[in-house]
Amino acid sequence: MTTLLISDLHLDPARPEITRLFGEFVDGEARGADALYILGDLFEAWVGDDDPSETGAFVAERLAALAGSGVPVYFMHGNRDFLLGTGYAQRAGMTLLEDPTVIDLHGRRALLMHGDTLCTDDVAYQQFRAQTRDPAWQRQFLAQPLAARQAFAQQARAASQARQGELRDAGKMETITDVAPAAVDAAFHAHDVDLLIHGHTHRPAVHALDVDGHACTRVVLGDWYEQGSVLRVDATGVRLASL
């Protein structure tokens, strides 16, 4: 059996073709998997489980059907959908995972992360992350009317795009928004693993690393902006491919 891992789908009504591709993947290949792990940013934005979007309803229906067929579905929050709650998770048949989480992946200890906490050089983002992960901030935000929350999400997206433009103009985009090697090494040490799987950076690759004399592997999952991306893992190893 094969375990499937995906992240950074950024599903959004503006890109219905990617939502359809995700539906085909869930109804097709995923039905033959032993588990599906979604490591964050399933949605472009998530402002609360009361959002009546058609995209959210479609995804919940397809994932619930997958889980109902006997394939466990696991979800880890990303930086775009960290407000996804237990209500939606139950509706979609998903089990919520802490970030980070260590699992047994075909006999190998694997560390799963969304990946944003590894980007420690992006100080401004880490400060924003700390604020928005605060339970008090989240309670206050979710108490606002849906329209206000949606407006905040649009403003945050525009601010993020503007900042990325500034980083590109300054020639710092590649370094600031990528993982910090020291943070990666620390993650391997802290969790006593030799396999790390994460998303967030949109730089899909399988990296062979030497961490204090130990052979380690870091797999970066791809995004779903232009195509699908999936990591397939079984007893023979890891295979990262586009759909």
What residue numbers does the annotated binding site for substrate cover?
79-80, 122, 160, 169, 172, 200
153 closest CA partner among 56, 58, 43 = 43
Residue 50: CB partners within 8 Å, gap ≥ 6? 146
Quick check: helix, strand or coil at residue 5? Answer: strand
Name 225's bridge partners: none
Give the C-alpha distances (Å, rounded to integers) separating 184 from 5, 115, 130, 188: 19, 10, 19, 6
Name 109's bridge partners: 104
Sheet containing strand 101-105, edge to edge, reads 101-105, 108-112, 195-198, 214-220, 205-211
Residue 118, both tokens: 């590894």
Q: Which residues are annotated as a binding site for Mn(2+)?
A: 8, 10, 41, 79, 114, 200, 202
Q: Check: CB of residue 71 under 8 Å from CB of residue 30.
A: yes
Q: Which residues are annotated as a binding site?
A: 8, 10, 41, 79-80, 114, 122, 160, 169, 172, 200, 202
- Counting Cβ atoms within 10 Å, is residue 53 exposed (0-12), middle (13-18) or buried (19+)? middle
